[in-house]
Every structure is written in C-alpha cells, then in structure tokens.
Amino acid sequence: MRHGRLIVFVVLVTILGALFAVSVLRPIYTATALLVVEPAGNLLSPGGTPRADAPNNGAIDGIVEIMRSDPVLTRAMELVDPFALADFSSGFDLQPMFLGFFRIDAEPLAAGEAGRAQVLKLMHNSVSINRRGLTPVIAIRASATSPEFAARLANSVGEAHIELEVTAKSDGLRKASALIEEQVDGARRQVLALGETLASLKAASAAEPNGLSASFQPQIASTVHSLDLARDQYQRLLRRSAELEEQAQLQLPDARLVAPASPPSDAGFPDIRTTLAVAALLGLAVALALAFTFDGLASGVRSTDELAEAIGVPAAVAMPRLHESRFDGTSHADQVITAPLSAFSEGMRTLQVNLQRSLLSGVGGQVVFVLSPGDGEGKTTTALGLARAFDAAGRRVLLLDADVRSAALHRHVDVPLAGGFEQVLAGDVDIRQLASMVRKDPLSKLSVLVNSGRSVVPAEVLFGSPTFANVLRGVRASYDITIVDMPSLHWSAEAAYILPHADAVVLVASWGRTERAKLREALVAIRQAHPLPVPLVPVLALQPKVIRWPTPRYEPGYSSR
C-alpha cells in the first residue's frame, strides 16, 4: 500500500503502451488450406480410380519440403498475381503510416529479378507449411493484411504444388514416350529392310531356269520369320508409345486440395484481449518488483512504532501526508487554521497535547525546541503548526526562528521584516530593539520572530554568548510557550549551545528518509547537551512526495524542494 500509486501508474502505463502498440500494429489475417497425400497413378489405372496405397512418412515429409521450395512459391506468386507489397506487410510496420502522413507514395515493387527475390522473401515469411501429426494431411497457413488475399495465397500454394507435380509426372512420361518413338523408328526401318531383303530373295529365286531353287528356300524362310518378329516388335512399340502419350495427358497428383482456404472473419493478430491481459500481468509484475525494490532501498523509519522504538519512548506522533503545492508566503501548517478538522491539524493537536503532558504543570514561560537529524525533514512546518496549535488552545505563544543557517521560517509566514533575530545575537542590533522585531502571524494571534536571511557567524558567537540566554529569559517572562525552530543536528555546534536551554524537545523524522543511525546520533546529542533528562516527543513526518520551489534554495520538511 505504501507504493500503491507507483503500482497503479506502472500498470496503467503498460496497458496504455499495449493499446498504442495494438493501434499501430496492422491487423494480420490467417487462412489455412488442407491437402491430403494419396498415391495416384492416372485415369488409365485399373478400375479408373487412383491406387489406395498409403504413402510412407518419408514421402509425405518430402512433399512438405518440396512445397516449401522456391519453384513452388514462385509458381504460387504467379497464380496469386496481381498483388501489392502492402498485402504481405505484417507486424510493427510504421512505414505506411509515416508515408501516408507526409503524403509520400510507397516504394513500388522492383522490376526484374530484384522484384522477384523481394516477393519470394515475403512469400517465405507469410506462408508456413506443416504436416498434421502423423496423418497424411498437410496444412498451408498464409498470413496477409486482408482476409481475401490470405485465402488466395494459401490456395495458390496448394494449387502450385499440384500443378507442378502433375507437370513433372507428365514430363517424365513424355520423355519415356520420346525414347519409345526412337525405338519405333528403328523397328520401322528394320521391317522395311527385311521386306526389301525378302523381295530381292524372291526375285532371285524366280529368275532361276527351273523355277524356285532349293538353295533360296532356307534364306527366304529365315527372312520371313525375322520380318514377322520385327513387325510384332514394331506393333508393341506403337501401342506402348500411344499408352504413354495418353498417360502423360491423364496424370493425377499424389496430393489433392481437400479443404480450400476461405477468407477469415477475424484478424488473428493482434489479439487485443490477450495483449491487454498479458500487458496488465506484465505491468503488475514490474510494478511489484519496483515497489519491493524501492521499499528495500528505503532504509529510513516508516512507522511511528519504529520511530518510538528507535528513540526509546512509548509512542510517536504521525504527521499525515500533504500533497497540495505551496508558494512563498504560505505553508502546509496553514491547515491548522484553515482546515482545523483535517488530519494534519489533528496530528498537530495530538503533538500539542503530548507536549502539554510532558511539560511541568503550573510553570509558565517554557521553551520547546523543534529539531531534526538532517535538513529538509519537516522541522519548520512542524514548529509553525505546533505554535499555532498552542495558540488555538489559548496560550500566549512565540515562534522563534533560531535556524540561522537556512532562515526558512519567513518563507512560511508572510510578515514584513524589520531586521533579523540573528543580528541581535551577533551584536549588530541592540537587544532592546528585539521587541520591535516581533510580528503577528496573519492567520492567528501567534507572535513570530524571524530571521532576515542566512547567517555565517560562528555558533559560539550567536548562541554561546549571554545575549541568547538573556533573550530566552525575556521570552519566558512574556510568553507561556516559546517554540524554537532550531538548526538541524547537521549543524551540531548550534545544537550543543541551544539544547541546554530546552524544557522539551520535538524530534522530527522524515518517513522513509531518516535512518535509525541518524536517530541514535540525534538522541545522543540531545542527552549530552542537556544536563537533566528532557521530555522528548518524536514526530514522523509522513510525506514521501517532494514539492519543488521556483527558486533553487533550501526549504525543509513538508515544503522542501
């Protein structure tokens, strides 16, 4: 809960970033075409139907690799034409938006081989071909920027493979037919040659005086037999050539498109719901990691119990967070007057009651010192708020600005300056003029004695001289309560001279900033400076936010830079 705002901010930023990315990403549609691999011969197969033998796994895997090859995708590219390069665009593509904003025409498709290689690369990126498990089914998935083109692209890859497969089978049969034709020509020449030989033998035999000579009979019989064999061979080759020609024209593919792709109704990418859900979970994880990191890095006290334990007192007072901005002449301590029912005002009244209980009853003219271990921890705001709380309780109160190193009080209280308190301490102004320097708080009856600026006079001159003791003796006689905004313990010399005059001390620690070691050092300094145990009330200023001033100058506490 201490880092709730950080967590909410990181999650919202992550979700908004995801929404921006989704709005920039172009929608991608995916269409799927299904092919089934079945052994097929041709339409002249027995029974007129394809063979039912199932191909082995190696054959199917080989078909998948063939379908991924450049020749198949090149033919698919020809079948799917016409198209534009933007049809293949996908993912985080800002170029079309940039060109459209500046009214610049997109770069056209390159001509010749460069354009073919460009489109072929896009085809490889847009098409995926995979086998479905151990089945003979092959899925062709095509992604594109429009549903129609995605379906056309998936179907064209399947059609290209079928077409090239049939063409390859037909070309193989035609090559075989060409070889048979050469054998037919040779058989024809052989038949003609044997016919001529038989005719010449018969003519020679007829020319004999006694008719058919017995010497020609064996030759004629052998030639007739050879001619018959040659004619039979010629007829077989003619029939085989005709069969191959018919088979080349009636080939069937081993894969057929059983489920052509149809245009998808919804874009597959980006998935808005999934993207936002993942972004929210990722943002939450990052936010929690940052919160735990910051929480672990914050070594300061972060609870009143922790502060009270470090100081060694029963309880500490918490000052709530204030988020409003403030400017010169105003202070967060104004809420004690302007918003008396606020949590800040209630915290100041609680501090006032605790101090009232700690101070000796029936003794007037008591002095309360407000200090902090370091600079910018809310000391001045706490001193002003406490003084106004005592004033509201009907006490005569003086707020004394002894923090001569920062002189921050006059930026919280809008009062005119007539010299500074530090000038009296330094001996530059007569102490009898001190009463004329006291001003009234514009919002209450509180008396205020402020500094006009920072002082560089040594601490022993300002607070070690009898003048400071005489000033305190005078204010004790004139006021019921004097609240002294003293320098932080960062200026240890000032504390050593001032603290012995204290009737009570308010120690202000900043939430998440003041470390335990600094608190222990402050406690030691207080105990060493005061000869008797002095009432000590710790205050935890709960303000992790930083308020920036328009000028680069020191400003502690709730009004820090």
Residues of the domain holding 339: 315-559
What pTM did the predictor assign?
Answer: 0.52
Higher per-residue confidence, 364 vs 280: 280
* One domain for residues 183 and 320: no
Q: Is residue 128 part of a domain?
A: yes
Model pLDDT, residue 541:
86
- State whether residue 81 is helix, strand or coil: coil
Domain termination residue (choose one: 259, 283, 305):
259
Q: Is residue 310 part of a domain?
A: no
3-state secondary structure 221-261: HHHHHHHHHHHHHHHHHHHHHHHHHHHHHCECCCEEEEECC
**pLDDT tens track for 118-172:** 788 888 888 999 998 888 899 999 988 888 988 999 999 999 998 888 888 878 8
Q: Is residue 32 part of a domain?
A: yes
Model pLDDT, residue 418:
59
* One domain for residues 235 and 360: no
Query: Do 190 and 228 meet the contact criterion of CB atoms below 8 Å apart?
Result: no
- Please list, in sequence order, all residues whose beta carbon lies within 8 angstroms of the beta carbon of residue 164, skipping any fewer than 6 positions away: 71, 72, 75
Model pLDDT, residue 537:
92
Q: Is residue 421 part of a domain?
A: yes
- Please list, in sequence order, all residues whose beta carbon lies within 8 angstroms of the beta carbon of residue 245, skipping any fewer than 6 positions away: 173, 174, 177
Alpha carbons 531 and 260: distance in angstroms, whole number: 98
Amino acid letter, 464: G
Which long-range contacts (C-beta less than 8 Å, at least 24 apart) are formed by 415-418? Answer: 415/439, 415/440, 415/441, 415/442, 415/448, 415/450, 417/450, 417/452
**pLDDT tens track for 161-216:** 988 888 888 788 778 888 888 888 888 888 888 888 888 877 777 776 655 556 66
- The mean pLDDT of 406-425, rounded to a whole number, is 75
The pLDDT of residue 226 is above 80: yes
* One domain for residues 420 and 352: yes
* One domain for residues 323 and 189: no
* One domain for residues 473 and 332: yes
* One domain for residues 59 and 185: yes
Alpha carbons 418 and 452: distance in angstroms, whole number: 8
Q: Is residue 435 part of a domain?
A: yes
Q: Is residue 267 part of a domain?
A: no
Domain termination residue (choose one: 259, 284, 302):
259
* One domain for residues 87 and 226: yes
Q: Is residue 416 part of a domain?
A: yes
- The mean pLDDT of 327-343, rounded to a whole number, is 81
365: domain CATH number? 3.40.50.300
Provide the mean pLDDT of the chain: 80
* One domain for residues 480 and 351: yes
Structural domain count of the chain: 2
Q: Is residue 157 part of a domain?
A: yes
* One domain for residues 34 and 161: yes
* One domain for residues 322 and 255: no
Domain termination residue (choose one: 212, 242, 259):
259
Alpha carbons 218 and 352: distance in angstroms, whole number: 150
Query: Do 382 and 539 meet the contact criterion of CB atoms below 8 Å apart?
Result: yes
* One domain for residues 321 and 255: no
* One domain for residues 246 and 337: no
**pLDDT tens track for 233-251:** 888 888 888 877 777 677 7
Which among 136, 141, 164, 161 has a CA at the least distance from the CA of 59? 136
Query: Do 421 and 402 meet the contact criterion of CB atoms below 8 Å apart?
Result: yes
Helices (H) and strands (E) in the chain — how many of each? Answer: 18, 12
For the ranges 246-250, 277-281, 421-425, the lowest mean pLDDT is seen at 246-250
